[in-house]
Amino acid sequence: MDQKCCTKCKTIKPLDQFYRRKRAKDGRTSECAECRNAAVKQWRIDNPERAKKIEHNRARDYSKEISRTKAYRATPEGKRRMRGYRLKAEYGISLEQYEDLLDEQGGVCAICKRPPSGENHANTYLHVDHDHVSGHVRGLLCHPCNTAIGLLGDDPERIQAAASYVHHRS
């Protein structure tokens, strides 16, 4: 494990006890976290008015950013962009790849061939069906079909048995 000597307390400590700092050669601050925290605490005691003002400004800026973000996410462009981020993070596909798959399927569920109904949030879009082990995207499904496959554990034998049961009991 890499170690470093704190410039304040002169103690050799593991690197994970130093804050990250991009501009530093080794990517860590010169003072250990313990010494840095003590220095900041002392500065706040010595400068109560400035510390109070900084905290106030930080809270105000954060609240502005949150409201801007919420407002942006409510716009059609914001919704589309957030959907793209989620698709990339969860399934490794871009919004364009999703739309290409949707076009290939004719805009309908790969199983029941119905378009998304849009009657509630879960039915607004077709869901990305994927193999939970490999992560491979299989297609796009409506909410009920996606839920059914998931509840059957993505097990082809159970899905076949359920289909056979329904077919013979009808």
pLDDT tens per residue, range 37-74: 999 999 999 999 999 888 888 888 777 777 678 888 88
pLDDT of 94 above 80: yes
- Model pLDDT, residue 75: 87
Q: Are β-strands 3-5 and 12-14 bridged in parallel, bridged antiparallel, or unpaired?
A: antiparallel
Using alpha carbons, select from 39, 62, 43, 60 the residue that is nearest to residue 51.
43
C-alpha distances (whole Å) from 151 to each of 114, 131, 159 are 20, 14, 10
pLDDT of 119 above 90: no
| Residue 107 backbone class (left: φ over 0; alpha: ψ -120 to 50; beta: rest) | left
Enter the tokens of residue 56. Answer: 């106030």
pLDDT above 90 covers a percentage of the chain that reads 58
Lowest mean pLDDT among 33-37, 52-56, 92-96: 52-56
pLDDT of 121 above 90: no
Identify each DSSP E strand in 81-151 by its residue range: 127-130, 137-141
Q: What is the DSSP letter of 122?
A: G
Compute CA 112 distance to the chain's CA centroid, rounded to the nearest angstrom. 30
Q: How confident is the model at residue 98 (pLDDT cuts 50, 70, 90)?
A: very high
Enter the tokens of residue 165. Answer: 């049961």
Per-chain mean pLDDT for the chain: 89
Residue 147: helix, strand or coil by DSSP?
Answer: helix
Tell me the C-alpha distance between 159 and 150, whole Å: 10
How is the chain split into domains, by residue range?
30-74, 94-169
Residue 28: helix, strand or coil by DSSP?
Answer: strand
Q: How confident is the model at residue 1 (pLDDT cuts 50, 70, 90)?
A: low
User: 94-169, what's its fold?
Assistant: His-Me finger endonuclease fold (3.40.1800)
pLDDT above 70 covers a percentage of the chain that reads 98
pLDDT of 5 above 80: yes
- Model pLDDT, residue 157: 94
The sign of the dihedral angle between the CA atoms of 95, 106, 138, 145 is positive
pLDDT tens per residue, range 128-144: 999 888 889 999 999 99
- Model pLDDT, residue 128: 95
